[in-house]
Structures are given as structure tokens and as C-alpha cells.
Amino acid sequence: MEPFDTYLYELIAKNLSGQCTEAETAALQQWLEADPGNRAEYEILAKLWRDSHAAPMPQRQYNTAAAWEKNSQAIQPSTSRVKTLYARYAAAAAILVLLTAGAWWLETRSSLKKHELAANDGKIKSLELPDKSMVTLRQGATIRYINGYHHNQRIVELEGEAFFEIASDPGHPFLVKTPNQSIVEVLGTSFTVQTGKDSTAVTVASGSVKLGVEGDTTAVILNSGQRGVWGNGLLSAKSNHNLNFIAWKTGILQFNDQTLLEILPQLADFYAKDIRVDEKYRETASQQKATITFRNQSCDDVLHELQLLLGFHYQQTGDSIVISQ
Amino acid sequence: MITSPSYQAYKELFHSQYNDLCNYAYSFLKDDATAEDVVQETFIKLWEKHRQLIGIPNIKAYLFRAVRNNSISVLRKQSTEEAGNKGFEWLAEVSEDPGEKEVENAKPHYEQLLYEAIANLPPQCREVFTCCRLQGMTHQQAAAKLGLSAKTVENYMGRALKLLRKYLQQYGLPVSILFLLKLFIPL
């Protein structure tokens, strides 16, 4: 079946709701007669249209609060169960202690081994570190960690970009090392680290972190809502105005009274596309503003919505898109 | 207590989707308790085995698919007491497109899939479609209610139709009715 263009779907939806003008009815009629396949497609859409009216609607009310109560109990690690088991096997306690000692020895040894995880198959990847901290790797990022502490510190090495949610443990500071010798030190907080060839950017979502350099005492403290950059031997911190710094993880893109010219580079980064603005349209694009939120929408959807809002045209060839009048 | 941000996200997801998903499971199972069990199990599996999915863009679509597959698997168990059927394992194989077996299983449930397709429309598109198609508003009325232009409403309706078509097509639905037309309308 050949791909239908958006206009045709609009026309069909309008016709099915009985809201076509005469000219539109005529256009549709012409299309229907052009090919028997067209009529078949129309009939399928008309059937969908009719049936959608009868599709089951959510009418029943369920007790979400009670269900959540049940759910949260089911997913909490249960300590009482462990105790009962222990009591039951009290007779074997002596053996258990021996085994534990052995296991501990093995554990200490294996902790020296470095684990590595890379998000190298085009998808973002999440993992839980041995200390229960969560890490989400953006496409192309690699993390290395050991199963244990190094001089009482939790240390990971990161290349690329990642979002961290650190399990609070004041006794064991959490360090993120990067290929360019900068170090991010945290206690319990969430933030992104973006490492480049010779720069590192840290954006803090909650809590605070310290960004410093290996073998140096200078450092900046970054609080929630701040972004710190290390590059060219300089450390700097300022407030973060980019609402979309973890869009790659959340799937949510937010724009608050931003110009099209400011919006497009963020879309380009998010969807990994090359978006250019036609020279003749630049002036207008720098003045058109939008306040809008997109949740998990495709690039085409997003451009389409902006198009409805701002009235530009766009053309996509492979991964590059051109915006014009 | 678990208090990590992903737990927060999980909690929010549970609260926003539980009722809709139970309704969806009910449309298969016609039994409230079983429907709630299926949704509950699906969420527990999500947390225990596929926590990394909680933040992904299509999590809602995955949940609907998981609840559908799990409901169908319960139905099958009820009717045949099939031995060795694991059930509740669907989220293990996370793929964008439904596999051959999933398509076969889903086919007899056209009406439910249609509901699923509507539930998975982009938020604003879904709202427009619900107003116009399910609540019977005209495009103008829907435009006034949602604060959109009539043109935008038309556009959303066209997109909704296109997306529904695309969603159901994955499952080979609705079955083409061309040959019926040939019987009744001489072309």
C-alpha cells in the first residue's frame, strides 16, 4: 500500500464526521475513484471509525491506593522473611559462619575486579551499582566500577554522558572519575555528567556535588539547579537554564518561551538529527517563540506540532531536516 | 524504605495507569479480582526484572501490551489448563514490534486492541479524538473546549485516524473487507 499523506487522512476524518465542504467531498471522491485500492483503504478507515465509537471505555473504578499498598509491600525487600529462615536453620549456624567467612574472603578478592558496562547498541542503559545507586548511560557511554570500596570511597569511571541517582551513604563518598582527570564527588543526590575529550559538564537535579580536578584542591560546589563545567584548566559554575538536560532519559522535552532558533538545536541533540534553518527564514525563526511540552513523541510529531503552532515548512531527507518559510 | 528517584517514577506510573490498566484487563477477563491480579503482577515484574524500562519513552505502550498478553495468557490457562505455560513473562522480551505469536494471540481481540490504540495516542491527539469521536462533539465544539483552532482539531483527527490504522495494522487488523464489497457493490 502506498503511503498516504497527512492531508488525505484529515480529509477522510472530516468526511467521516460529516464535516467536509463541497470542494473537499469532490476531492475525496476523485481520489476514491482513482484506484480500487484507495476505496479499500477508505473502507478500512471507515470501519475503524465506526468501531472506535464502541471501543470499551474505562468505566470501572479500582482502588488504586489499596493496590499500591499491596504493591509496595511486594517489592520491598522483606527482612522478616530472612529472620524466619534464619531461625529455622539455627542448627546449621556454625557451618553458615564458616561459609560466610569464606564468601567474605572471595568477595574481597573479586571486588578488585573491574566491571564494565557500555551502552553501545544505540539504546540507553540502566544499572544498579553494588551500593544500590542507579546509573543511566546515554547512548555511547561506558562505565567501569568495582564491587566494593576503594579507601572507603565508592569510585566509578565514566566516559560519555550519564545520569546518576546516588544512594545516600555519608561514610563512603561517591566519586565519578572522567577521562580528563576531573572528579565529581557526591554524598547522595542525582545529577548528570557529560564527559568530552577535554571537558566535563555536571548538571545537578537534586542535592549537591563537588566538581574538582585530580591532584588539585580547587573545586566548585554545585547545588541543585546548577551546572558546572571543567575545561581548558578552568572550573566554572552557573545556574542551569536548560530544562532538557535529562530529556534523553525522561523523554520529556520542555520549552518555556523559547525562540524557534533556540529550540531547534535541542531537538537536533535529542533526536540525533541535523536540523538547519533556511537563511531566509532565520530572521523569523529568531523571533517566533513557543511554550510547549513534548512527552515521548517522535521527531516528526514534534516538528508537526511546532509547524501547526508557528507555521513553517520542513523537509526531511534521511537524518537532515531543513526548516523554511 | 526505597526512596530512589526511579522508585518515585515507578510510584507515579502506578498511580497514573493502574485504573486504566485494570479496566483494560477487565475487558478481557470480565472479572475484577483477576484483572487487578494481572495488573499487580505486571507492575511487580516491571520493578523486579525490568526497572530500567520505567524511564523509557514508550513505557505506557509496553504496559498496555504486557497487560494484554498477560490477560490473554490467563484466559488461555483458564480454558485449557495448559501445562508448562509460564504466563506473566512477556516483558522479558522487549521489542518494538509484536512477534508472530503475539500477533496471532491478539487477533481475536480486535475491540480491545482498538481501545489500546486509542489509549496510546499522543496525549493531546487522544483528548481531541475522545471529544469528537467518543463524546460526539463537532470539531468546532472540541476546538472551543480545548482552546485549539478548528484547523488544529481537524489535523489531530486526521493524525489519530492514521495512528490507529498504523497500530492495528501491526496485528493485521481490521481484516480487509474488500471482498465483501465486491459481493455487494459491483465495481
Average pLDDT, chain B: 80
Instruction: Give the three-class secondary structure for A21.
Output: coil
**Res. B105: pLDDT tops 60:** yes
- B150 or A218: whose pLDDT is higher? B150
Do B58 and A296 lie within an 8 Å CB cutoff?
yes
- Count Cβ–Cβ pairs < 8 Å, chain A vs chain B: 167
Q: What is the largest CA-CA distance in chain A?
A: 90
Do A17 and B155 lie within an 8 Å CB cutoff?
no
Asked which of A53-57, A77-81, A217-221 is least confident by mean pLDDT, the reply is A77-81
pLDDT reported for residue B158: 92
Do B157 and A44 lie within an 8 Å CB cutoff?
no
**Res. A176: pLDDT tops 70:** yes
**Res. B39: pLDDT tops 90:** yes
pLDDT reported for residue B80: 67
Put residue A157 in one of left, alpha, beta given phi > 0 → left and psi -120 to 50 → alpha. beta
pLDDT reported for residue A103: 47
pLDDT reported for residue A55: 67
Specify whether the CB–CB gap between A147 and A166 falls below 8 A. no
Instruction: Give the three-class secondary structure for A157.
Output: strand
Contacts of A54 in chain B (CB under 8 A): 111
Question: Chain B residue with minimal CA distance to A67?
Answer: B40
Q: Kindly provide the residue ranges of all beta strands, DSSP E only, lying in A113-181, ordered along the sequence.
A: 114-118, 125-128, 134-137, 142-146, 154-159, 161-165, 174-177
Do B20 and A297 lie within an 8 Å CB cutoff?
no
Contacts of B42 in chain A (CB under 8 A): none
Contacts of B157 in chain A (CB under 8 A): 10, 13-14, 17
Nearest neighbour of B19 by CB, restricted to A36, A43, A64: A64
Q: Tell me the pLDDT tens digit for each residue of A263-293.
A: 998 898 888 888 999 888 888 888 888 888 8
What grid cell was written down for A44?
478500512
What grid cell was written down for A235?
572550573
pLDDT reported for residue A247: 85
**For range A166-171, the mean pLDDT:** 80
Question: Which percentage of chain B shows pLDDT scores above 70?
Answer: 81
Specify whether the CB–CB gap between B46 and B91 falls below 8 A. yes
What grid cell was written down for B46?
516491571
Do B164 and A76 lie within an 8 Å CB cutoff?
no
Task: Indicate the pLDDT class of residue B67, thresholds 50, 70 and 90.
Answer: very high
Do B18 and A62 lie within an 8 Å CB cutoff?
yes
Rounded to whole angstroms, how far apart are CA atoms A149 and A100? 19
**Res. A130: pLDDT tops 60:** yes
**Res. A226: pLDDT tops 80:** yes
Question: Which percentage of chain A shows pLDDT scores above 70?
Answer: 85
pTM for the full model? 0.50
Rounded to whole angstroms, how far apart are CA atoms A284 and A264? 13
Rounded to 10°, the helix B32-49/A64-75 angle is 40
Instruction: List the one residue out of A132, A126, A177 whose CA is nearest residue A156.
Output: A177
**Interface pTM, i.e. ipTM:** 0.81
Question: Chain A residue with minimal CA distance to B26?
Answer: A60
Q: How far apart, in Å, are the Cα atoms of A228 and each of A211, A237, A247, A288, B57?
A: 7, 4, 18, 30, 28
**For range B155-171, the mean pLDDT:** 90
**Res. A24: pLDDT tops 70:** yes
Q: How many CB atoms lie within 10 A of CB A133?
A: 22
DSSP bridge pairs for A157? A144, A177
Asked which of A20-34, A65-79, B120-134 is least confident by mean pLDDT, the reply is A65-79
- A3 or A23: whose pLDDT is higher? A23
Question: Chain B residue with minimal CA distance to A137?
Answer: B52
Do B23 and A56 lie within an 8 Å CB cutoff?
yes
Specify whether the CB–CB gap between B75 and B28 falls below 8 A. yes
Q: How far off is chain B from A64, nearest CA to CA, in Å? A: 6
**Res. B73: pLDDT tops 60:** yes
**Res. A301: pLDDT tops 70:** yes
Nearest neighbour of A67 by CB, restricted to B4, B40, B178: B40
**For range A56-83, the mean pLDDT:** 73
**For range B104-111, the mean pLDDT:** 83
Question: Chain A residue with minimal CA distance to B18?
Answer: A64
Q: What is the largest CA-CA distance in chain B?
A: 70
Q: What DSSP character marks residue B175?
A: P
Burial class (CB in 10 A: 0-12, 13-18, 19+), B149: exposed
Nearest neighbour of A67 by CB, restricted to B4, B18, B174: B18
pLDDT reported for residue B8: 80
Question: Which percentage of chain B shows pLDDT scores above 90?
Answer: 25
Contacts of A304 in chain B (CB under 8 A): 159
Task: Indicate the pLDDT class of residue B54, thresholds 50, 70 and 90.
Answer: confident
Average pLDDT, chain A: 80
Q: Residue B174: is the preceding peptide bond cis (ω within 30°)?
A: yes
What grid cell was written down for A72?
509496595
Q: Tell me the pLDDT tens digit for each residue of A71-106.
A: 888 887 544 444 334 444 444 444 444 444 444 444
Specify whether the CB–CB gap between A286 and A259 falls below 8 A. yes
Most confident of A100-114, B96-110, B146-160, B163-177: B146-160
Residue A86: partners with Cβ closer than 8 Å, 6 or more residues away: none
Rounded to whole angstroms, how far apart are CA atoms A308 and B145? 18
**For range A28-39, the mean pLDDT:** 88
Nearest neighbour of A48 by CB, restricted to B115, B155, B174: B174
Contacts of B151 in chain A (CB under 8 A): 308
pLDDT reported for residue B19: 92
**For range A158-162, the mean pLDDT:** 87
**For range A173-202, the mean pLDDT:** 80
Q: How far off is chain A from B88, nearest CA to CA, in Å? A: 16
Rounded to whole angstroms, how far apart are CA atoms B41 and B56? 20
- A54 or B34: whose pLDDT is higher? B34
pLDDT reported for residue A92: 44
Task: Indicate the pLDDT class of residue B157, thresholds 50, 70 and 90.
Answer: very high
Question: Chain A residue with minimal CA distance to B61?
Answer: A296
- N residues, chain A: 325
Nearest neighbour of B19 by CB, restricted to A48, A61, A126: A61
Task: Indicate the pLDDT class of residue B174, thresholds 50, 70 and 90.
Answer: confident
Q: How many CB atoms lie within 10 A of CB A43?
A: 17
Instruction: List the one residue out of B153, B109, B161 whose CA is nearest residue A42.
Output: B161
Do A9 and B40 lie within an 8 Å CB cutoff?
no
Task: Indicate the pLDDT class of residue A113, thresholds 50, 70 and 90.
Answer: low
**Res. B94: pLDDT tops 80:** no
- N residues, chain B: 187
Do A74 and B178 lie within an 8 Å CB cutoff?
no
**Res. A308: pLDDT tops 80:** yes
Rounded to whole angstroms, how far apart are CA atoms B70 and B25? 9
Question: Chain A residue with minimal CA distance to B50?
Answer: A126
Contacts of B39 in chain A (CB under 8 A): 67
Dihedral (C-alpha) B124, B125, B131, B137: value to the nearest 10 degrees?
120
Asked which of A55-69, B91-105, B120-134 is least confident by mean pLDDT, the reply is B91-105
